[in-house]
Amino acid sequence: MATSDGAHASSREQQTRRGQAREADPAPPAPKQLWKDSFGRASIRALQILLIAGAVALLGYLVVALKLVTLPLLLALIIASAMHPIIRMLHRAHFNRIWAAITALLGIILVLVAVISSVVMTVIYEWSDLAVQTQQGINKLITILSDWGVPLDETHLQEYLNKGSQYLQTSGAGTSAVEGVSMVTELVAGALLMIVMLFFFLLDGPRMWRFILGFVPERLTSRINDAGLASVHVLGKYIRGTVIIAAFAAVVDLIAMLVMRVPLAFPLAAMIFLSAFIPIVGALVSGICAALIALVAAGPMAAVVLVAVVVVVNQVEHHILQPKVMGSALSLHGIVIIAALAVGANQGGVAGALLAVPLSAVIWASYKAFRSTRLASSTESELAQEQAEYDDEAGSEEAPARS
């Protein structure tokens, strides 16, 4: 009996020790607890960023892959946004929806045909002469710098210049007949598709937007509507302002080139007008080409004067014209504009460079409008809550006074 009692006592002591050991060892954390500490929250944010980046990359890939549809769609949206004030003016003049859309569309087509025939075709017809004159200007500039003692590796420079000149003079000319026909077919199909889309945007743009808002949760309808209105406003002001600034730069530079008897003044002015739609980089490239041609035709003094005119025009654009005609439509830092241009040109060529900046401005304006509406709504709710709390406190203080 004593032996059995001792055995039971020792077994109870062993069980007690095991229980104490189990209590001393911490239990493993539950899976949900792993996401609540600082590392878990950082992992969730990193996963969200990766998902957003993947969605943006997929959207960009689809836009580039389906450029025959997306490019006319974007161009139609941009032009329709620029024409929004004219559509409203026609409605105030008692035009119905259909006739207002038809009138605006015919006006846009006439303007585009005039610009393409007078500006774009001028640059295309004189492109080889522009390339030759620019090449001669670069060679003369290298000679002048070498005479001044500036160390230049003329062998490598000449090799690069020859390649660049050959590319400029034969750009697009070396394609086969089949590729040329395919390119023309794509351009015609894209132009027709853009005209059809533009007509429907002008006709039923507000109805389309209300249809899209119908799929948005009710609590987000007001904020997304404000973001959409901000996008239309920014796009319209950007296009109208860019046209005014481009025309101003082309006219002033044309007058300066005619006064200094620079050859190919009209093609250069047309190129300056077109390059103004690519901010920062376009004005720089067109100004350099004009100065190089002036260097060959009229000497170093004319080139220096033309560079000074281009710089003054650029400063007037940025500090006087742009704030007046664009306002906050292009409230982007220069580094953002250059990065957007680089990405757009890399992914979409010339069309990507033309669309990169306005799309970036639209995204930024939409985000600001969405965020400001959210802050305004949260501020209103906080003020309402504070007012309700104040009313409750005032009521509780008045109750004992009445009693």
Q: What is the DSSP string of 174-223?
A: TS-HHHHHHHHHHHHHHHHHHHHHHHHHHHHHHHHHHHHHTTS-HHHHHH
**Which residues neighbour 234 within 8 Å (Cβ) at sequence distance 6 or greater?**
328, 329, 358, 361, 362, 365
Q: Are 231 and 365 in contact (CB under 8 A)?
A: yes
The two structure tokens encoding residue 93: 């003049």
pLDDT of 106 reads 92
Other beta carbons less than 10 A from residue 290's beta carbon:
30
State CA 231 to chain mean position distance.
11
For residue 164, the model assigns a pLDDT of: 57
Q: Which residues of 363-375 are buried (b: 16+ CB within 10 A; e: fewer)?
A: ebbbebbbeebee
In this predicted structure, what is the pLDDT of residue 157? 56
Q: What does the pLDDT profile of the chain (403 residues) look like in tens digits?
A: 445 555 555 666 666 665 555 554 555 555 666 666 777 778 888 888 999 888 888 887 887 788 888 888 888 888 888 888 888 888 888 888 889 889 989 988 898 888 777 766 666 666 676 677 777 677 777 676 666 665 655 555 555 555 555 555 555 444 444 555 666 777 788 888 989 999 999 888 888 888 888 888 888 888 888 888 888 888 888 888 888 888 888 888 888 888 888 777 788 888 888 888 887 778 778 887 888 878 777 778 888 888 888 888 888 887 788 777 776 656 677 787 888 888 887 777 777 778 888 888 888 888 888 777 655 554 445 445 545 554 554 455 455 544 4
Alpha carbon distances (Å) from 329 to 88, 116, 133, 146 = 20, 26, 37, 45
pTM exceeding 0.75: no
Sign of CA dihedral 166, 170, 175, 179: positive
Count Cβ atoms below 10 Å from residue 8 Cβ, excluding itself. Answer: 10
Q: How distant is the alpha carbon of residue 84 from its chain centre?
A: 20
Cα–Cα distance for residue pair 203/205, rounded to 1 Å: 6
pLDDT of residue 379: 46
Q: Token digits for 245?
A: 């600034």
